Amino acid sequence: MSDAAGAPFERRVVVAADAAALTVAAAGHLRRGIFDAIAARGACWIALAGGRTPRAVYERLADPGTPAIDWTRVHVVFGDERVVPPDHADSNYGMARAALFDRVPLPPSQIHRIAGERGDPAAAADAYAADLARAFAVASGRWPVLDIVLLGIGSDGHTASLFPHTPALDVVDRLAVAAVAPSAPASRVSLTYPVLNAARAVVILASGADKAGAVARAFDDTVPVADCPVRGVRPAAGSLTWHLDAAAAAKLADAQAR
Ligand code: 6PG
């Protein structure tokens, strides 16, 4: 796999038998990644994904496991958010709070959520970007290096809230951007490609037959990024690991053969 500049980067594909096995494999991968980041640098900065797929992974991460995670050293940001209040059923923060934050000793001050309740996506994106810049003490034009970025993929090939043929795909001078989804809740905020691609490790989850086409396109080098935005996730110096179940991987062999 090569990035936009053509430089190769590490890409792994892990295929589990079914959704339950995918949850176990992905949670184990994240647990090890969080543990290793803390061991190496004293803290782990992780961007969480929204949607349905990651919920079971967060619930498993919240369970005791080996290696044990020192949650007091974990800092959480979000890959994207819907512009809704945090207690709204569509809130990615709300989902992660129920599945994870309410069950582990993660200090609330170490959760950097996107203020969807502001109702103004551009203002929420700017506030989130300023929060991240402060947290990482980065000057403008430099990118925070997250230890782990967890992403999903939509059946249209979107990831985070970077949707096909939308202006957000072209924003590469900011940490976060207002975005528009083709389906409700339409108003979103998303991390931009430079932040996603600065990460030390990107993990993409996909489960179910409805994702098989998008996963195949994600691996097809003839497909433009605008048509399948997850293809724009090319960690410049990091690793990219896909965790799929068999249903989501069903069309992958053909694409890889091209
Ligand atoms: C969101 C997510 C989005 C998600 C995909 C897959 O806010 O919806 O960040 O990018 O990862 O849409 O969602 P599912 O896991 O629900 O299929």
Instruction: With respect to residue 11, please indicate whether it lies within any of the assigned structural domains.
Output: no
Distance from Cα 40 to the centre of ligand 1, integer Å: 30
The confidence band for 254, taking pLDDT boundaries of 50, 70 and 90, is low
CATH number at 109 reads 3.40.50.1360
- What is the arithmetic mean of pLDDT over 113-120? 94
Instruction: With respect to residue 255, please indicate whether it lies within any of the assigned structural domains.
Output: no
**CA 248 – CA 226 distance, rounded (Å):** 21
Instruction: With respect to residue 10, please indicate whether it lies within any of the assigned structural domains.
Output: no
Is the predicted pLDDT of residue 236 greater than 70, yes or no? Answer: yes
Mutate to test the pocket of ligand 1, among 53, 81, 177 (most ligand atoms within 8 A of CB): 53
Mutate to test the pocket of ligand 1, among 48, 52, 207 (most ligand atoms within 8 A of CB): 52
Considering the entire predicted model, what is its pTM?
Answer: 0.95
Q: Over the stretch 37-87, which tens digit does the pLDDT of each residue have?
A: 999 999 999 999 999 999 999 999 999 999 999 999 999 999 999 999 999
**Per-residue pLDDT, 9:** 66
Domain range for 170 is 17-197+212-236
Of residues 56, 50, 106, the one with CA closest to residue 78 = 50
Does residue 189 contact residue 177 with C-beta atoms inside 8 Å? yes
**Per-residue pLDDT, 257:** 55
Q: Count the Cβ atoms, other than its own, within 10 Å of residue 88.
A: 14
Instruction: With respect to residue 230, please indicate whether it lies within any of the assigned structural domains.
Output: yes
Is the predicted pLDDT of residue 228 greater than 70, yes or no? Answer: yes
Is the predicted pLDDT of residue 178 greater than 90, yes or no? Answer: yes
Q: Whose CA is nearest to atom 2 of ligand 1?
A: 50
Average pLDDT over the chain reads 94
Q: How many structural domains does the chain have?
A: 1
Calculate Rg over the CA atoms of the chain.
Answer: 17
**Per-residue pLDDT, 119:** 85
Instruction: With respect to residue 250, please indicate whether it lies within any of the assigned structural domains.
Output: no
Q: Give the three-state DSSP class for 125.
A: helix
Instruction: With respect to residue 254, please indicate whether it lies within any of the assigned structural domains.
Output: no
Instruction: With respect to residue 1, please indicate whether it lies within any of the assigned structural domains.
Output: no
**Per-residue pLDDT, 194:** 97
**CA 113 – CA 118 distance, rounded (Å):** 12
Percent of the chain, pLDDT > 90? 90
Instruction: With respect to residue 37, please indicate whether it lies within any of the assigned structural domains.
Output: yes
CA-based end-to-end distance of the chain: 13
Distance from Cα 155 to the centre of ligand 1, integer Å: 9
Q: What is the CB < 6 Å shell around ligand 1?
A: 49-53, 79-80, 92, 152-154, 158-161
